[in-house]
Amino acid sequence: MNPLQISLIAVAIVVVAAIVLYNWFQERKYRKQSREMFASQQDVLLDAQQGAESDATRIEPYLDAPPIHAEHPVPDTSLTHARTEPAASASMDPSPITYQADIAALREPHVQSRPAPATATAQPESVPVADELPASPADPMIDFEIRLHTADAVPGSAMGELIERSPNNGKPVYWWGYSHLAGGWEEIASWREDAYAEIVIALQLADRNGAVGEDQLVQLCTQARQLASRFNGVAECPDIPSALQRANALDLFCVDVDVLIGLNVVSRDNAVFSGARISELAQRAGMVLAVDGVYQCRNAANEVIYSLCNHESAPFTASATAPFSTHGVTLLFDLPRVADGLVAFDRMTALAYQISEQLGGQLVDDNIRPLTQAGIDKIRMQLDQIYQRMQARGIPGGSERALRLFN
């Protein structure tokens, strides 16, 4: 080994040793500074009253909570909410400008003060706290529910623009506020003068257009937090990845049971059916002509049970002067939207047989093949299986939940 190599090795050893010593010195210096910095720091969140007991309650910081100003006094009553960590109250003397407030007091329902009328208005004996409120109208199975708790009640006009934009952003969004005077949840409208300290925003996770997207969930959570911050409150948004998984699973199930049954009655030997005769049979069966030229059979709730439309492109018309004829008609049954679906299917099938007999036609499937009673029985059995699956999933056919999902 020549002298140059020996010199390079020696220099490298010296450099490495210098680096190690420098790092050790820096680490020792920072540790000393850290001990000095944190050794005797006072916890500013502890009770600020002089002479407080040694077991003074600590108020934990809360994310997204805006500062509370003196012009919006908050009661120091300690409240908790089921979806958050419990927070204890601590009594403090407010400064002339701002003061520390128990963040749990943000959850106390607050109604904006209004000038007292000449005649006293009856007020509720007690205002329920957040934990005592009744369940919101949101559906936990199909909705993404955001809760807002504010110290200053939010007027409906402050939410008007967000509510009006909701239908254009994708899935349906529902807004509810808790009215202490009415003692229940009510739909929020921008034209109302009411204000709410407890608000629920519910975003539907799926419909016939598919599952909700991540962008809409993120956007709605951002808007909710901004709104809550404006009125000294907090917004509780569920976990978005979990919500997306729920939405996709719900959408897959809905796609699997979303079945539309069609029974066709066509003429024989290229003959035609009289439009007047079809209208007579439909009306005799209790059907009403809708504006789109389709006869509909509706239940007591005004929901469509099944419909009768022209097998060809032209719609039915109520005009008695316009001649109308067709080579066939189709009866349609939207399975998931119908309660007591098997009974409704039997009624529709009976009407199909009646039209076929009265007009001299034949009952066929979508491939224009004759549909026998055995074929009808097979369809009915499949419908029964689908309805049982929907019932087991908690989405009975024709229920409010099903009507929202299959819309």
What are 346's two structure tokens?
A: 């039997």
From the CB of residue 172, how many other CB atoms can be counted at a distance below 10 Å?
15
SS3 call for 381: helix
Same domain, 250 and 308: no
Q: pLDDT averaged over consecutive 10-residue blocks of the chain (407 residues)?
A: 80 81 69 54 46 44 44 38 37 37 39 39 45 89 97 93 81 94 90 91 96 95 96 97 98 97 94 92 95 94 95 84 84 96 96 96 90 95 97 97 96
On the 0-12 / 13-18 / 19+ scale of CB atoms within 10 A, 216 is: middle
What are 78's two structure tokens?
A: 């300690």
DSSP conformation class of 61: -
Closest residue by Cα to residue 403 from 331, 290, 302: 302
| Distance separating the N- and C-terminal Cα atoms of the chain | 86
Same domain, 193 and 279: no
Residue pointed to by tokens 């820096």: 26
Same domain, 235 and 316: no
SS3 call for 74: coil
What is the reported pLDDT for 149?
Answer: 97
Same domain, 356 and 346: yes
Same domain, 211 and 327: no
Residue type, 125: E
Instruction: Give Cβ neighbours of residue 364 (< 8 Å, ≥ 6 apart).
Output: 264, 265, 266, 370, 371
Same domain, 146 and 182: yes
Q: CA-to-CA distance for 130 and 185, rounded, in angstroms?
A: 13
Tally of structural domains, the chain? 2
Residue 42 lies in a domain: no
Q: CA-to-CA distance for 196 and 187, rounded, in angstroms?
A: 11
CB 339, CB 398: distance < 8 Å = yes
Same domain, 179 and 217: yes
What is the reported pLDDT for 27?
Answer: 66
Dihedral pair phi/psi, residue 271, rounded to 5°:
-75, 175
Continuous segment of H or E residues that includes residue 397: none
Last residue of a domain, one of 236, 257, 278: 257
Residue 52 lies in a domain: no
Torsion, Cα of 82, 141, 187, 150 (10° steps): 30
Same domain, 180 and 323: no
C-alpha separations of 51 from 54, 56, 60 in Å: 9, 10, 21
Residue 5 lies in a domain: no
What is the reported pLDDT for 90?
Answer: 37
Q: CA-to-CA distance for 189 and 175, rounded, in angstroms?
A: 8
On the 0-12 / 13-18 / 19+ scale of CB atoms within 10 A, 178 is: buried
CATH (domain of 292): 3.30.1400.10
From the CB of residue 236, how many other CB atoms can be counted at a distance below 10 Å?
17
Q: CA-to-CA distance for 308 and 344, rounded, in angstroms?
A: 14
What is the reported pLDDT for 181?
Answer: 86
CB 328, CB 311: distance < 8 Å = yes
Which residues form the domain of 272? 258-405
What are 356's two structure tokens?
A: 């076929």
Continuous segment of H or E residues that includes residue 19: helix 3-38
Q: CA-to-CA distance for 396 and 346, rounded, in angstroms?
A: 19
What is the reported pLDDT for 309?
Answer: 96
Q: What is the pTM of this model?
A: 0.65
What is the reported pLDDT for 241?
Answer: 97
Q: CA-to-CA distance for 159 and 127, rounded, in angstroms?
A: 23
Residue pointed to by tokens 């329920």: 128
CA 174 to chain centre: 7
Residue type, 261: I
Same domain, 149 and 295: no
Last residue of a domain, one of 237, 257, 277: 257
Same domain, 100 and 214: yes
SS3 call for 32: helix
> Which alpha helices (DSSP H) does 131-287 contain, by range?
156-165, 214-230, 240-257, 275-284
Dihedral pair phi/psi, residue 360, rounded to 5°:
70, 35
Residue pointed to by tokens 């680490």: 27
Q: Which residues pair with 123 in a beta bridge?
A: none
Residue 330 lies in a domain: yes
DSSP conformation class of 190: T
What are 212's two structure tokens?
A: 């909700």
Same domain, 106 and 68: yes
Same domain, 400 and 313: yes
